[in-house]
Structure 1
Amino acid sequence: MDEKLIKKAIKGNFNAYSILVNELKSDGYKLAYTILKNEQDSIDAYLQAVEKGLKNIKNLKEVKYFKTWFLKIVINEAKNIISKNSKVIYLEDIKDLKEDKEINRENKIDLEKSLQSIDPQTREMIKMKYYMGYKLEEIAQILDLSIGMVKGKMYTALKNMRKELSDSENRG
């Protein structure tokens, strides 16, 4: 990201801010969609994040963390939408998984159940890594956690999921 633009945005330059958030439009929408699983709600979360970010950009301390700062706002806005709508999030469509595009219906249901059994924060981490391609370091920054915490939570969750899915396969 262009540090000069970020500095201008912090000083109140609306055009600079617009350019910056427009560069993050795809990432912001995808991140909101991994949480909300609804196109319109995801757009709303991104737009609300743009508005909230504009009001609070002057509080950004480190220019290099603009992207992280903005994506945290997107996550919070997505969570606010969930609270307002009292929606239960289900993984209706896992076609975006990179490793295996041809998961049969039974495995899809098992995977969905397995993911739903994970705590919401760890589920977000897994989505960010495997659906959106974020690196562990980026996930740690966005969620304001240590890299060790992210690795540990994801390792444990994926290990448990593998076991759960393996047990389910052996039963079937």
Structure 2
Amino acid sequence: METQELLVRRAIRGDEDAFLQLIKMYKVDLYKTSFSYFRNEEEALEALQEVTYRAFKSIRKVKEPAYFKTWLIRIMINYCNDQLRKKKREVLNEEYLASQGISETHEGLEIEEALLGLDQRSREIITLKYFHGLKIKEIALAMECPEGTVKTWLHKALESLRLSLSEKGGK
């Protein structure tokens, strides 16, 4: 089996089979990301289709093959945010949190509510860091900003989350 980087290089050169293999590798991550925004299977699948199309059309813009997954998830996040802005709603998926080990208990609902209370950028950074396991460098690349800025934003997001949770728990 070929490595991701080799597949990306082939896809950039126009190899459609390589592109399809890459999409198959990351379709679950893309679906989970879209589902966490929309909480609706139909919308999540539509997002997956649209992002696959957009990625195919702009594959030549990938600068660093090692960060293909980050690039792909960023396209999904941008698409989801655009769609939510159009609908004027923001949501986070309970099943996605549950899949990350946070159950639908009182505690899980508090965490979900606290995440919903964060601003969009804070939710994005926490999603990329803790739900997708990206490194600060990868998040910086995806968000097109310096690593130090991502660290600052992440710190502030976590502080806001802690504050929100401590207020709810009375701790």
Partner of 2:98, secondary structure, is: coil
> Could you tell which deviates more after superposition, 32-41 or 107-116?
107-116
CA RMSD of aligned residues (A): 2.6
Deviations 1:144-168 (A, max 9, x none): 2322222222222222322332233
Deviation at 1:23, TM superposition (A): 1.2
TM-score after normalising by structure 1: 0.79
Partner residue of 1:133? 133
> Could you tell which deviates more after superposition, 41-50 or 145-154?
145-154
Check whether the contact 1:45–1:78 (CA below 8 A) recurs between aligned residues. yes
Alignment of 1:89-100 (within 5 A): 89-93=91-95, 94-98=97-101
Amino acid at match of 1:157: A
Identity of aligned residues (%): 29
Deviations 1:18-50 (A, max 9, x none): 112211112222222233332222222121111
Partner residue of 2:148? 148
- Point out the structure with max Rg over C-alpha: 1
Amino acid at match of 1:111: I
Partner residue of 2:124? 124
Distance across 1 between alignment mates of 2:157 and 2:63: 33
Partner residue of 2:84? 82
> Could you tell which deviates more after superposition, 76-85 or 19-28?
76-85
Choose which of 8, 13, 16 in structure 1 pairs with 2:15.
13
| Alignment CA distance shift 1:15-1:102 (3 Å) | closer
Check whether the contact 2:67–2:138 (CA below 8 A) recurs between aligned residues. no
> Could you tell which deviates more after superposition, 86-95 or 49-58?
86-95
TM-score after normalising by structure 2: 0.80
Amino acid at match of 1:52: R
> Could you tell which deviates more after superposition, 114-123 or 84-93?
84-93
Aligned pair count reads 168
